[in-house]
Amino acid sequence: MSNNAQKALGVFALAMINVAAVLSLRNYPSMAVYGWSSIGWYVIGTITFFIPLTMAGAELATGWPSGGGVYAWVREAFGERAGFVAVFCEWSNNLVWFPTVLAFIASTFAYVFNPALATNKLFMFVVMMVAFWGTTLVSLAGEKVSSRFGSFGVISGSIVPAILIIVLGFAYVFMGKPMALPAFTPSAAIPEINLSTLPFIATVVLLFAGMEMAGFHALEVRNPQKDFPKAMAMSAIIIFVLTVVGTLAIAIVVPVSQLNLAAGLMQAFQIFLAAFNLTWLLAPLALLVALGGVALLGSWLIGPALGLGEVANRGLMPPFFSRTNRRGAPTGVLLLQAILGTIISMLYLFIPSVSAAYWILSAMTVLLLCIVYLFVFASLNRCASAANRRCRARSRSLAAWRVSG
């Protein structure tokens, strides 16, 4: 791969990789279930997880911009074996996460034809497979193509629909339309934390997971030391604002008893558009949102695959995992994960409820992600310690030079 191809990403493209990986409209319904208290959950998640993860990703990517993302960071801190465990957990969590975002894509796409298809298992599975293998083919086209597709997809399929549902939500409230939520009070925004709501923390983690994804692209960034912090800040602001307000827009129109975890976003759009006599927009909007889901999928398809390829290049995995095509795409890993993801997606054919399958796979995803993030934060501590040692060494060298001078 040429040097120009390697340095193809700037601040905006890098920020869009993060937004594509984290800003998932599919997560809005999971949070909308909690109504006004979702505000409190978002604040807790932002303070305790989102901001620390954003800062950790920026610091590690800047301090060790050697490619490999999580693998490179953990390897530098704890050695090859720990790096392998971290990136393998991240890659493995993808295998059980892929079907959840595929279900979101399929249930959204159903609104192009008939909303009832969102509960049709055969339709869901066929669309899931078309989206999965189609995105894999885009990833095989190389980093530059997949990055451009991701930037286009996240703007048109995630940011635009997120802004639209926010605008519709404000207009809906302003016009005095009936709301599914009671009147707002400050106490309603405070989440109830007890043993029954403790599992919900898994949803909060999943909401903000992925801010480390841009680290896998360090070798393709023009100026990592300057571009990573700027991209992290830009993406963090976009994600937080759109996520909080977008979730509340769904909560005010879709009753909890009727909310579908996979298709809740389109349920809200259907109600909003009907209220403003704009139902003709439902089908094209469904296409846009499905495109955003595909962009999200593409970000997670290629990132950990690149990290696993780096592990194989160091001889820690069979040569199959290091195979690349002439565009530098990790063909071996991409094809293997497509096959395994297809097998796991078959759960949607056998589990009675689409929402139940969605929740089970989401919980499994979080368990594996928590292992990865324990490694990330521990590596940050090592990185900071190493930086302090280098700083002290430079200070001693400078002091010695001044004395000798």
pLDDT of 5: 44
Picking from 340-344, 384-388, 396-400, which range would have the lowest pLDDT averaged per residue?
A: 396-400
Looking from the CA of 106 toward its CB, the CA atoms found within 13 Å total 26
What's the pLDDT tens digit per position in 142-169? Answer: 666 666 666 666 677 777 888 888 899 8
Please say if the pLDDT value at position 273 is more than 50: yes
Max Cα distance, the chain (Å): 82
Better-predicted residue by pLDDT, 158 or 332: 332
What's the pLDDT tens digit per position in 102-121? Answer: 888 888 899 888 888 887 88
Please say if the pLDDT value at position 267 is more than 50: yes
pLDDT of 130: 92
Using CA atoms, how far apart are residues 340 and 132, in angstroms rounded to an integer? 11
Mean pLDDT of 182-207: 74
The answer to whether the beta carbons of residues 372 and 90 sit under 8 Å apart is yes
Q: Which residues of 29-63 are buried (b: 16+ CB within 10 A; e: fewer)?
A: bbbbbbbbbbbbbbbebbeebbebbbbbbbbbbbb
Count H helices and E strands in the chain, helices first: 17, 0
**Rg for the chain, CA atoms, rounded:** 22
Please say if the pLDDT value at position 3 is more than 70: no
Using CA atoms, how far apart are residues 115 and 107, in angstroms rounded to an integer? 8
Looking from the CA of 354 toward its CB, the CA atoms found within 13 Å total 26
Residue indicated by tokens 């990136």: 87
Q: Which of 268-282, 283-297, 309-323 has the highest mean pLDDT?
A: 268-282
Better-predicted residue by pLDDT, 192 or 282: 282
Please say if the pLDDT value at position 238 is more than 60: yes
Please say if the pLDDT value at position 2 is more than 50: no
First to last CA, the chain: 47
| Other Cβ atoms within 10 Å of 374 Cβ, number | 12
What's the pLDDT tens digit per position in 372-383? Answer: 888 888 888 877
The answer to whether the beta carbons of residues 187 and 35 sit under 8 Å apart is no
Residue indicated by tokens 């950790």: 56
Give the CATH H-level superfamily of domain 3-378.
Answer: Amino acid/polyamine transporter I (1.20.1740.10)
Using CA atoms, how far apart are residues 84 and 293, in angstroms rounded to an integer? 28
Q: How confident is the model at residue 27 (pLDDT cuts 50, 70, 90)?
A: confident
Please say if the pLDDT value at position 18 is more than 80: no
| Other Cβ atoms within 10 Å of 258 Cβ, number | 9
Using CA atoms, how far apart are residues 358 and 268, in angstroms rounded to an integer? 19
| Other Cβ atoms within 10 Å of 216 Cβ, number | 27
**What pTM was computed for the model?**
0.69
Better-predicted residue by pLDDT, 60 or 280: 280
Domain ranges within the chain, ordered by starting residue: 3-378
pLDDT of 129: 92
pLDDT of 219: 60
User: What backbone torsions phi and psi does residue 10 show, to the nearest 5 degrees?
Assistant: -110, -165
Cα angle at 240 between 236 and 245, to 5 degrees?
155
The first and second tokens of residue 3, run together, are: 């040097």
Q: How confident is the model at residue 65 (pLDDT cuts 50, 70, 90)?
A: low
Residues forming beta bridges with residue 221, ordered by sequence position:
9
In angstroms, the Cα distances linking 300 to 18, 117, 158, 258, 292 are: 10, 26, 15, 30, 13
The one-letter code for the residue type at 157 is: G
User: What backbone torsions phi and psi does residue 129 show, to the nearest 5 degrees?
Assistant: -70, -40
